[in-house]
Structure formats: C-alpha cells, structure tokens
C-alpha cells in the first residue's frame, strides 16, 4: 500500500511513477544477451514451465530505424502456481505470467532483471507468506542463476 500511495503522490505531482529499486532483482551474467536468454529459456522449459513469448526489443527498435543495446524479455509461467495467485486476487493477472529482462548496460555488462514476486503483489489481496510466492521466488532465483552461468 505504501508503494501505491507514493506512486500516486508522484503522478499527482506530475512525476513518473517508478518501481523502487528494491523491487527489482538483478543478476549479473557472464555471457552475452543471446546466450543468457537461450540458457534462461532452456532452464524454464527444463523446469516444466511454459514459455509464452520471447521479445527482442533490439529487433523492435531496428524495425523503426532506432538503436538499442541488446535487450530481450522472456515471458513464462506455470499455471499450477500462477492460477493460485489469481484465485486469491484476479488483479494478479496484470503481473503474470512472469517476466525476466536480459539486457546489456552502458558499461557492457549483461544483467538479468525481474520483479521480486513478494513486492510485485504487494498492493493486492495476497498474503506475503503465500506458498506460491515462495515457489515463484525460489524458481526465479534458480532459473536466473542458471542462465547467468553461476
């Protein structure tokens, strides 16, 4: 609720509402974006989850004659887990399926980034101690570590 009120105050003041950096988990990768994303996709399917889409933002930028450092998003999930969140609060569907961003920053470092599930559902009627949040958090940690080459 605190995050919602802070964001609302920012919007009312004419400032953009941004997610707190505490809400975003970043994992350093030891490979390029393409390799990291390939590993992530393989880890997700290997874990029995569904890959719904792989979005290449760099290709999208190139399609309109713009440049963007390598940046991709993998959208994936496991309906057995995500459905439980949506049963507790249908608005959870705005945050699901899960998403992991893989990007190269200005210094050339590749990162995986995702929103912490506990924080993602913070403003919803979802208990922070729900077992499915623990499952999502654990899965994201393992999948991104594997993709990062750790």
- For the stretch 111-149, pLDDT in tens is 999 999 989 998 898 998 999 999 999 999 999 999 999
The DSSP annotation for the chain comes to -HHHHHHHHHHHTTPPP---GGGEEEEE-SS-HHHHHHHHHHHHHHTTPEEEEEEEHHHHHHTTT----SEEEEEEE-HHHHHHHHHH-GGGGGT-SEEEEEEE-TTS-EEEEEE-HHHHTTTSS--TT-HHHHHHHHHHHHHHHHHHT-
More confident residue, 35 or 150: 35
Reported as a single tens digit per residue, the pLDDT across 7-38 is 333 333 333 333 446 799 999 999 999 999 99
The pLDDT of residue 21: 62
The pLDDT of residue 17: 36
Average per-residue pLDDT for the chain: 87
Reported as a single tens digit per residue, the pLDDT across 63-114 is 999 999 999 999 999 999 999 999 999 999 999 999 999 999 999 999 999 9
């Amino acid at each position: 609720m605190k995050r919602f009120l802070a964001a609302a105050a920012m919007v009312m003041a004419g400032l953009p509402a941004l997610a707190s950096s505490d809400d975003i988990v970043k994992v350093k990768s030891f490979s390029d974006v393409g390799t990291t994303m390939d590993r992530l996709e393989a880890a997700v399917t290997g874990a029995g989850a569904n890959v719904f889409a792989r979005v290449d933002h760099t290709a999208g930028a190139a399609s309109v004659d713009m440049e963007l450092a390598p940046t991709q998003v993998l959208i994936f999930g496991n309906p057995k887990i995500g459905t439980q969140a949506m049963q507790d609060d249908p608005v959870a569907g705005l945050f699901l399926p899960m998403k992991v961003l893989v990007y190269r920053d200005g210094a050339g470092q590749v990162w995986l980034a995702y929103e912490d599930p506990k924080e993602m559902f913070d403003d919803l009627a979802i208990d922070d101690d729900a077992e499915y949040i623990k499952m999502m958090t654990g899965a994201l940690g393992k999948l991104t570590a594997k993709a990062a080459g750790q």
